Structure 1
Amino acid sequence: MEWLEVSTENCPVQCTLDLVGEKWTLLIIRDAANGVRRFDDFRRHIGLSEAVLSDRLRKLTAAGILRTVAYREPGSRSRNEYRLTRKGWDLWPVLVALRQWGEAYAPDPEGSVLDMRHAACEAPVRVVVECAEEHVALSPKEVSARPGPGARRRT
């Protein structure tokens, strides 16, 4: 079966984009990964409306990407903070890859907004595709892709 004969209804890229493919959603995940926890902080930092933020936070929580943790400031009602779950943290390499691509192809002339470095040695961090067995970086020319066991023929 050729790629164009394969149905994409169960494609993991498509399924992922159904969950996190909206711009605001990825920016919420980016901010959560960088320590933003509270509704008003997300709203101020990202600059989106309360309605859109509420909707995205609800969807991310329902999908298990964020979890809520109750907190209460003295003299105020109880509220929720939003924290990444393991499932949410597993999106972190995607954000780093998007950042890496942006730094290469849409850079700010003044330099990087976020300097990411390995805490132990201070070397810059980058995302690579590697062989699971040999642990060497691979280019697209070194990877073969073919329909897998979940591939369904297009109808």
Structure 2
Amino acid sequence: MPAADRPHPHAFENAVAVVGDYWTLLVLQEVSFGARRFRRIMTNTGISSNVLAVRLRKLIERGVLSKELYESRPPRYEYTLTEAGRELQPVLLALAEWGNRHACRGESLMERHARSPTTTPRAMRL
């Protein structure tokens, strides 16, 4: 690749720092497909509430998600993609397509985890 076409030296590293872990990608997938509330994201992904809270906070801080209050007592929020988050949608779809072609061999990582709960999803990543 010609030097002029190469991305910034740290572009990939910086992108992975924002969205490159297992749970963050699943959270982004859920919000992209319409799950905008904490409980729904948690149920759909199997993520624990404390891990989800950390991932949501990180995505908000990095400008990928925004949150809006929809109920004041108790405070409850909906999470939506920002412009930066919407720009990730083609990347998420490309990952899903790649997964369909190359990584789907029957059950998902979460299904394997449910069958063998001593193995965490983190340990099952490639």
- The two structures have a TM-score, normalised by structure 2, of 0.73
Cα distance in 2, alignment partners of residues 23 and 109 from structure 1: 19
Deviation of the 1:78 alpha carbon: 2.8
Higher CA-based Rg: 1
* Structure 2: 5+ residue stretches without partners: 108-126
Aligned to 1:86: 83
Deviation of the 1:77 alpha carbon: 2.0
Once the two structures are superposed, the pairs formed by residues 2-151 of structure 1 within 5 Å of their partners are 10-72=9-71, 76-107=73-104
> 1 or 2 for the larger relative contact order (CA 8 Å, sep ≥6)?
1
Q: Deviations over 1:24-69 (max 9, x none)?
A: 0011000000000111111111001111000000000000100001
More helix by share: 2
Q: Deviations over 1:75-94 (max 9, x none)?
A: x4231110000100101111
Matched length: 101
Deviation of the 1:107 alpha carbon: 2.8
Q: For 1:35, what is the secondary structure of its paired residue?
A: coil
Q: Which amino acid aligns with 1:88?
A: G
Tell me the C-alpha RMSD between the 2 structures.
2.0
Cα distance in 1, alignment partners of residues 98 and 105 from structure 2: 12
Cα distance in 1, alignment partners of residues 40 and 88 from structure 2: 21
Consecutive aligned runs of 4 or more in structure 1 exceeding 6 Å deviation: none
Q: Deviations over 1:68-123 (max 9, x none)?
A: 011028xx42311100001001011111110111111123559xxxxxxxxxxxxx
